[in-house]
């Protein structure tokens, strides 16, 4: 169902913000009709959209390297898909800033898409209720798949649009057209634990149609047994992880995360050296669990660690990098945060 028409009091300029995401567990399951458990993080992309008198789309970003215009395809795609929903999107000046590392596995692309869509909703006076947020998430997924050529599965956009403070989202893709989303309270800091994201520094390119991501999708569709073994077991791990979280059985959750990494490394074969080195160093230094997060081939890990061991774990990872002469990785302690929001809309 298309969204209802926007209210008749549109603005001239609006600002939208959408977060990046970490997937706690459940990787490469979304496009396989399975389960995942992402949460929105407190790193975000902000888009300012200003109504133009003509029908042009003029885009600027402070983060994109000079000459790199690939990111603009996401914005063009989002505007086209919102128009397909029946939104009356005018010509726009679009300004983007971001604290989500670009191409770093925290879904900078979904944050960009959802920030632009949210800003446009603010501009048009379009209320963002739960149903509209899902529609926007799906429009953004289509923008990425059809306009950019990255055949992603939908987890990232749902996390960016529906994220809730202090919660992960259990997403069940059994019905691809109507994924079921259940918020799961994730009270790690109450129990003295932290969620540490480590950026390996290796960039991946999902938009590469011949890349590993698209290839894995094809292998699953063709019934490759080892790939599908990962998917079946990963779905079981997500269910077990939700039980562990409900019971606040954190060591059990940690073990499931580490097992997920092993399966992504050995059965799904989407890990790389630096991801494995971070995971091994973190576990070696006493983390409860650690795994790559996102599509793989680079990007970030997520580590569950007692707050009082954070420094030791970070140091161990840095030392493992130094021993190999690799440039130092980045670390961020993240909190499960809220989804996209309109920050301001001015008439
Ligand atoms: C990327 C995609 C998601 C999902 C993950 C792997 O982040 O955008 O849809 O498939 O990889 O779990």
User: Tell me: the pLDDT tens digits for 9-44?
Assistant: 678 999 999 999 999 999 999 999 999 999 999 999
pLDDT tens profile 77-92 = 999 999 999 999 999 9
Confidence of residue 206 (pLDDT cuts 50, 70, 90): low
* Residue in 156, 169, 299 to alter for ligand 1 test, most ligand atoms within 8 A of Cβ: 156
Confidence of residue 108 (pLDDT cuts 50, 70, 90): very high
Q: Phi first, then psi: give them for residue 195, nearest 5 degrees.
A: -110, 115
Q: What are the DSSP calls for 319-336, one per residue?
A: HHHHHTTPPPPEEEEE--
Would you state the pLDDT for residue 67? 73
Would you state the pLDDT for residue 101? 82
Averaged pLDDT for residues 315-323 = 98
The encoded tokens of residue 137 equal 């998430």
The pTM assigned to this predicted structure is 0.95
The encoded tokens of residue 3 equal 């969204």
Which residue, chain included where needed, has tokens 């991501």?
A: 213
Would you state the pLDDT for residue 209? 47
What distance in Å separates the CA atoms of residue 214 and residue 233, rounded to the nearest whole number?
Answer: 21
pLDDT tens profile 218-254 = 999 999 999 999 999 999 999 999 999 999 999 999 9
Residue 231 CA to ligand 1 center (angstroms) comes to: 13
* Separation of first and last alpha carbons in the chain: 29
Kind and range of the H or E run holding 76:
helix 72-84
What distance in Å separates the CA atoms of residue 151 and residue 339, rounded to the nearest whole number?
Answer: 23
What distance in Å separates the CA atoms of residue 253 and residue 288, rounded to the nearest whole number?
Answer: 8
What distance in Å separates the CA atoms of residue 340 and residue 333, rounded to the nearest whole number?
Answer: 20
Using CA atoms, how far residue 344 sits from 61, 94, 128, 300, in Å, is 19, 15, 14, 31
| Residue 303 pLDDT > 90 | yes
Mean pLDDT of the chain: 94
| Top-confidence residue, 347 or 156 | 156
What is 13-185+336-346's CATH number, 3.40.50.2000, 3.30.230.10, 2.10.70.10, 1.10.150.120?
3.30.230.10
Would you state the pLDDT for residue 68? 77
- Cβ atoms of 143 and 77 within 8 Å: the answer is yes
Ligand 1 neighbours (beta carbon < 6 A): 23, 27-28, 30-31, 107, 152-156, 294-295
Would you state the pLDDT for residue 137? 98
Q: What are the residue boundaries of the structural domains of the chain, listed by start?
A: 13-185+336-346, 189-334
Residue 88 CA to ligand 1 center (angstroms) comes to: 30
Using CA atoms, how far residue 300 sits from 35, 197, 291, in Å, is 20, 6, 9
The encoded tokens of residue 347 equal 């008439």
Three-state SS across 22-70? EECCCCCCHHHCCEECEEEEEEEEEEEEEECCCCCEEEEECCCCCCCCC
Averaged pLDDT for residues 292-303 = 94
- The residues with which 185 forms a beta bridge, in sequence order, are 167
Would you state the pLDDT for residue 182? 98
Kind and range of the H or E run holding 293:
strand 289-293
pLDDT tens profile 148-200 = 988 899 999 999 999 999 999 999 999 998 999 999 999 999 999 999 999 99
What distance in Å separates the CA atoms of residue 130 and residue 153, rounded to the nearest whole number?
Answer: 20
- The residues with which 93 forms a beta bridge, in sequence order, are 50, 58
Would you state the pLDDT for residue 9? 66
Question: For 199-328, where are the alpha helices, taking DSSP H only?
Answer: 212-221, 225-246, 250-266, 273-284, 310-323
Confidence of residue 128 (pLDDT cuts 50, 70, 90): very high
| Residue 336 pLDDT > 80 | yes
| Residue 70 pLDDT > 90 | no
Nearest CA to ligand 1 atom 8: 152
Would you state the pLDDT for residue 150? 86
| Residue 207 pLDDT > 60 | no
Tell me the fold of 189-334.
Answer: Alpha-Beta Plaits (3.30.70)
Residue 56 CA to ligand 1 center (angstroms) comes to: 31
Q: Is 156 a catalytic residue?
A: yes
The catalytic position among 30, 88, 129, 156 is 156
Kind and range of the H or E run holding 95:
strand 92-98
| Residue 290 pLDDT > 60 | yes
Confidence of residue 286 (pLDDT cuts 50, 70, 90): very high
């Amino acid at each position: 169902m298309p969204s209802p028409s926007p209210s008749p009091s549109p603005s001239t300029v609006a600002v939208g913000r959408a977060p990046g995401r970490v997937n706690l567990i459940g990787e490469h399951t979304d496009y396989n009709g399975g389960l995942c458990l992402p949460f929105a993080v407190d790193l975000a992309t902000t888009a300012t959209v200003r109504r133009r008198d003509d029908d042009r789309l003029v885009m600027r970003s402070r983060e994109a390297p000079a000459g790199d215009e690939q990111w603009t395809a996401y914005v063009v795609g989002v505007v086209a898909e919102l128009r397909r929903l029946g939104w009356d999107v005018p010509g726009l000046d679009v300004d983007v800033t971001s604290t989500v590392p670009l191409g770093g596995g925290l879904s900078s692309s979904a944050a960009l898409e959802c920030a632009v869509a949210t800003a446009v909703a603010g501009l048009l006076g379009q209320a963002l209720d739960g149903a509209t947020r899902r529609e926007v998430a799906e429009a953004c997924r289509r923008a990425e798949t059809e306009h950019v050529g990255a055949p992603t599965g939908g987890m990232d956009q749902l996390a960016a649009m529906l994220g809730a403070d202090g919660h992960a989202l259990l997403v069940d893709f059994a019905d691809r057209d109507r994924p079921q989303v259940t918020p799961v309270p994730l009270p790690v800091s109450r129990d003295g634990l932290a969620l540490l994201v480590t950026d390996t520094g290796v960039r991946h390119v999902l938009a590469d149609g011949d890349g590993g991501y698209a290839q894995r999708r094809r292998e699953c569709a063709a019934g490759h047994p080892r790939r599908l073994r990962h998917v079946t077991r990963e779905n079981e791990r997500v269910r077990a992880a939700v039980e562990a979280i409900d019971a606040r059985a954190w060591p059990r959750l940690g073990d499931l995360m580490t097992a997920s990494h092993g399966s992504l490394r050995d059965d799904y074969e989407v890990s790389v050296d630096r991801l494995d080195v971070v995971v091994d160093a973190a576990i070696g230094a006493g983390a409860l669990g650690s795994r790559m997060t996102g599509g793989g081939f680079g990007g970030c890990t997520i580590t569950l660690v007692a707050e009082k061991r954070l420094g030791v774990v970070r140091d161990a990872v840095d030392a493992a990098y130094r021993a190999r002469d690799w440039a130092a990785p980045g670390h961020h302690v993240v909190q499960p945060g809220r989804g996209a929001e309109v920050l301001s809309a001015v008439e």
